[in-house]
Amino acid sequence: MQLYLPIAEVSVNAFLLLGIGGIVGFLSGMFGVGGGFLITPLLFFIGIPPAVAVATGANQVVASSVSGVLAQMRRKAVDFRMGTVLLLGGFIGSGIGIWVFARLTALGQVDLFVQLSYVLFLGLIGAMMLQESLRAWFRNRSGAPVRRSHVHTWVHGLPFKMKFRASGLYISVLPPMAVGALVGFLAAIMGVGGGFIMVPAMIYLLGMPTKVVVGTSLYQIIFVTAFTTLMHAVTNQTVDIMLAMLLIVGGVIGAQFGTRVGVRLKAEQLRILLALLVLAVAGKIALDLLLQPAELFSVTPGLLP
């Protein structure tokens, strides 16, 4: 069944969109990532204009995150206090990111910047997570004593300390704010929620327990992507509701299944799988940059400022 999308101005198969939404939603619920880093490249691939893909991808992430957070809340796995601190940082980062995005669009280098960010961040995070989670997995299997996850570092010496009961932490608000700002910045320029950075940063940098990480990350992603969607709708008018609704219907259903599966898997297994997924996406984008493209020229409608 072909469907004409009013803003993207292309006709695509409705079931293909439902399927993409479903797969991404499943992964989203399972890993606590918004899935934007998968959905945006997938939409490029089926021929949706990049600007529409980035904005609409953010809109779809809002829905799958709401669905995921509600499931996590019933398990009391959301640290609202931590989420709110992260969010404050997120808005600051997002504001800067939208300004940078506009500058780079004018220079015609936004594609390159987005691709480089994907390769750099996904590659780095993926490799770090894979290495750490594999080590933890082997340690568990060999039966060696588990090291305490909560270790005192320089992070704990910073001022403005705050108690985060759900996470069992008493740390300064500065590191979560910085993490939030970085993620907000990436959300605006990459069209992603930033869960793939947020989740490892919360585990390794802030020392939060893995159980509350997924829910808290999703909670923060709702607001950052909602802000991004609104900004794109107002400044670029590139949010396609029709496209978003199809992705969402597939996505919310997928997210519910994903959450169930995620609960059954061990934390290390979950992290290994997420790391492999992140690395695969990074590898694919790196190849696109390194290999000579079949068509050197590209045509972009619109005026240069």
Chain residues binding another protein by CB under 8 A are 1-4, 6-7, 9-11, 59-60, 62-68, 70-71, 74, 108-109, 111-112, 226, 229-230, 232-234, 237, 239, 241-242, 244-245, 248-249, 252-253, 255-256, 289-293, 295-304
Q: Compare residues 72 and 133 and give the one whose CB is closer to another protein.
A: 72
Q: Compare residues 22 and 207 and give the one whose CB is closer to another protein.
A: 22
Is 221:36 a contact under the CB 8 Å cutoff?
Answer: no
57/248 Cα distance (integer angstroms): 10
Q: Supply angle C-alpha 217, 220, 225, rounded to 5.
A: 115
- State in angstroms the smallest separation of the CB of 82 from another protein: 21
Q: Compare residues 237 and 269 and give the one whose CB is closer to another protein.
A: 237
Q: Compare residues 201 and 255 and give the one whose CB is closer to another protein.
A: 255
Q: Compare residues 16 and 178 and give the one whose CB is closer to another protein.
A: 16
The backbone region for 288, taken as left when phi is positive above 0, alpha when psi lies in -120 to 50, beta otherwise, is alpha
Q: Supply angle C-alpha 201, 117, 158, rounded to 5.
A: 30
- State in angstroms the smallest separation of the CB of 153 from another protein: 36
- State in angstroms the smallest separation of the CB of 278 from another protein: 20
- State in angstroms the smallest separation of the CB of 255 from another protein: 7
The phi, psi pair for 46, rounded to 5°, reads: -90, 10
- State in angstroms the smallest separation of the CB of 237 from another protein: 5
Q: Which helix (H) or strand (E) holds 78?
A: none
- State in angstroms the smallest separation of the CB of 21 from another protein: 10
Closest CA to 63 of 255, 194, 211: 255
Q: Compare residues 143 and 302 and give the one whose CB is closer to another protein.
A: 302
Joined tokens for residue 86: 């992260």
The phi, psi pair for 170, rounded to 5°, reads: -130, 90
The phi, psi pair for 122, rounded to 5°, reads: -65, -45
Angstrom CA distances, 198 to 50, 159, 217, 254, 304, stand at: 24, 22, 6, 21, 35
Q: Compare residues 108 and 157 and give the one whose CB is closer to another protein.
A: 108
The phi, psi pair for 268, rounded to 5°, reads: -65, -40
- State in angstroms the smallest separation of the CB of 295 from another protein: 7
